[in-house]
Structure 1
Amino acid sequence: MSDQSVGGFSAAQLSQIPPSTDPQTSEEIPTHALFHGNISTQLPQNRPDVQRTGYAAFRNEDRGRSAFGKLFWDIDPYTYLALRVKSDGRRYFVNIQTDSIVETDIHQHRLYTREHKGATSPSDPGQWETVLIKFHEFVRTNHGVVTEPQSEMLRQKVKSFGIGLIDRQPGPFELAIGAIWATNLNERGQIDGRMDHEEGDQGSARLSEVTEEKLAARAEEKAKLPEHKPSLRERFPEHFGKVGTGDRGRPGDPKGYSPFR
């Protein structure tokens, strides 16, 4: 999608690129989707209701329905959204839409990259990298505006994942996406499993904060924790009563009362 839906002049395409080898660097280029096109901020004529243009985005198709209703992704067991990308350095946003009460709500997060085109010098072509974003760091928005009060993402019912470009800077853009997946990380910030990434590739600048000193401090804190944490039943036995006796019985019930019997 792009602002062409409201009469704008931006153009966007999502192309599938087969694997190949870079003739200059001999680098193996994996199969990927290429989000590319051109951004234009020109306003359409005879449309006074359109005040802003210059955006483009894509998302996956809906999963459809089953005999039990609509199909969704359940990402609740995971901490991070991982993206294997090669960016031109423009201001992209990652969008997640859930089955929320307000259908136009979208959870967004900036796609920060470190190895993008021009990162070290104007001639730097950029490199593939893995970016990791914590799900709880996404911000709920509506039509591009942050909504208040914020609410936690409904991770059990995710409808779509997508990426948008809304920097409104005229000119071409190009973002290669090798994979998008949900994951958990070990203490060293490495990805659990192998999804076409280099070992120890941390991707996000936030993960560069994982150091040996912090890992040692965390291990020391764990060592100080008590081996056994008493449960609520152990801490308040007079409230729960004795197991199997039903001594919290109601009057006149010699066997005790249990809402589960």
Structure 2
Amino acid sequence: MRPTSACLAPGFLKRSLDEFKRLSNFALKLEGIRSPSKPFPLIHFNQPEDLERCKRMSDKDIGGYSTANFDYHPVTQTEPSHVRFHGTISTQLPHNQPHIQRTGYAGWRTLDRGSTIFGKSLWDVTMYNFLAIQFKSDGRKYFVNVQTESIVPTDIHQHLLHSKTPGDWETILIKWNEFVRTNHGQVVEPQREMLTQKVRTVGISLIDRIPGPYDLSISKIWATNATSEDEFLNSAPVPQLQSSQNDLKNITRKDSGFGEGSRQKIT
């Protein structure tokens, strides 16, 4: 049996080695028996190359006029290293494309992580209680998006990214079971429990369709049990727990067509 070119690719071998190390540490530390105390990084913007692990999206992909910029900023005396997600939201419809009836959204997400010798590379956050995000917001209504290996590929689990101190760095903790299942920006029923053992991507979107500039900085996103051994929490601003009061079912939403593949027709 001869290995395929994909199996011989450097990225495949590195991912396989990283996954082997992760599984080995998991077994040696008995983390399947007790809750892990260390943080589990999902995306950290520590260097410019980290931007290559993400994908920008906006209605510009279907002919709209919203913009989405993704700029890296190194660590300074007053700020952590981070990415600045910024641009302008426009609800102007593209010309000569009558099938496009809604625009006004922008977002980003991590890329799919590819395959390893152990199979498709996914995040297993089952043993963690929270998703943590260190960010600085302009106060607009952003949403945190989590994609899993769902039966419906366009399903996205969402939670409001609520800023209590716009313009300043802050850290939030979101319980995994408080994410709400959506499809193309709309809450759908029945609600299903998130497959936290098969997380594909994480990201953030702005889908309120309010024209004007936006500006959001993100330093890191990780899974945590919020223990004293979480060095990310220890070095970050005092974390705020996002409560179920921000349930998406109680938020007035506007269908933007934002999803894995933008919906271009109203059915």
TM-score, normalized by the shorter chain, greater than 0.5: yes
The CA distance in 1 between the partners of 2:205 and 2:116, in whole Å, is 29
What is the aligned partner in structure 1 of residue 148 from structure 2?
Answer: 98
CA offset at residue 200 of structure 1? 7.6
Residue identity opposite 1:181 in structure 2 = W
Provide the aligned length of Structure 1 versus Structure 2. 188
> Which of 121, 124, 145 is the equivalent residue of 1:74?
124
What is the aligned partner in structure 2 of residue 12 from structure 1?
Answer: 68
> Which of 98, 108, 111 is the equivalent residue of 1:48?
98
What is the aligned partner in structure 2 of residue 34 from structure 1?
Answer: 84
The CA distance in 1 between the partners of 2:237 and 2:66, in whole Å, is 38
> Which of 87, 107, 129 is the equivalent residue of 1:57?
107
Q: Which has the larger radius of gyration?
A: 1
> Which of 223, 227, 230 is the equivalent residue of 1:193?
230
The CA distance in 2 between the partners of 1:199 and 1:102, in whole Å, is 36
CA offset at residue 199 of structure 1? 7.1
CA contact (8 A) 1:113 1:203 kept: no
**Correspondence 1:34-183 to 2 at 5 A:** 34-116=84-166, 126-183=167-224
The CA distance in 2 between the partners of 1:130 and 1:48, in whole Å, is 42
Residue identity opposite 1:89 in structure 2 = G
CA offset at residue 94 of structure 1? 0.2
What is the aligned partner in structure 2 of residue 203 from structure 1?
Answer: 240
CA offset at residue 84 of structure 1? 0.3
Q: Deviations over 1:53-74 (max 9, x none)?
A: 1100000111100123211000
CA offset at residue 147 of structure 1? 1.2
Flag as ranges the 4+ runs of structure 1 deviating above 4 A.
196-200
Superposition RMSD in Å: 1.8
The CA distance in 1 between the partners of 2:98 and 2:215, in whole Å, is 31
What is the aligned partner in structure 2 of residue 251 from structure 1?
Answer: none
| CA 148–127 in structure 1, closer or farther in 2 if over 3 Å, else same | same
Q: Deviations over 1:24-55 (max 9, x none)?
A: xxxx1111011111111111111111111110
The CA distance in 2 between the partners of 1:196 and 1:135, in whole Å, is 17
The CA distance in 2 between the partners of 1:89 and 1:133, in whole Å, is 18
| CA 87–20 in structure 1, closer or farther in 2 if over 3 Å, else same | same
CA offset at residue 198 of structure 1? 5.0
CA contact (8 A) 1:83 1:132 kept: yes
TM-score, scaled relative to structure 2: 0.67
Q: Counterpart of 2:60 in 1: which secondary structure?
A: helix
CA contact (8 A) 2:59 2:106 kept: yes
CA offset at residue 204 of structure 1? 3.5
Where in structure 1 are there 5+ consecutive unaligned residues? 22-27, 117-125, 208-261
| CA 43–184 in structure 1, closer or farther in 2 if over 3 Å, else same | same
CA offset at residue 170 of structure 1? 1.1
% same residue: 54
CA contact (8 A) 1:184 1:192 kept: no
The CA distance in 2 between the partners of 1:4 and 1:98, in whole Å, is 25
What is the aligned partner in structure 1 of residue 51 from structure 2?
Answer: none
Residue identity opposite 2:203 in structure 1 = G
The CA distance in 1 between the partners of 2:175 and 2:137, in whole Å, is 20
Residue identity opposite 2:155 in structure 1 = D
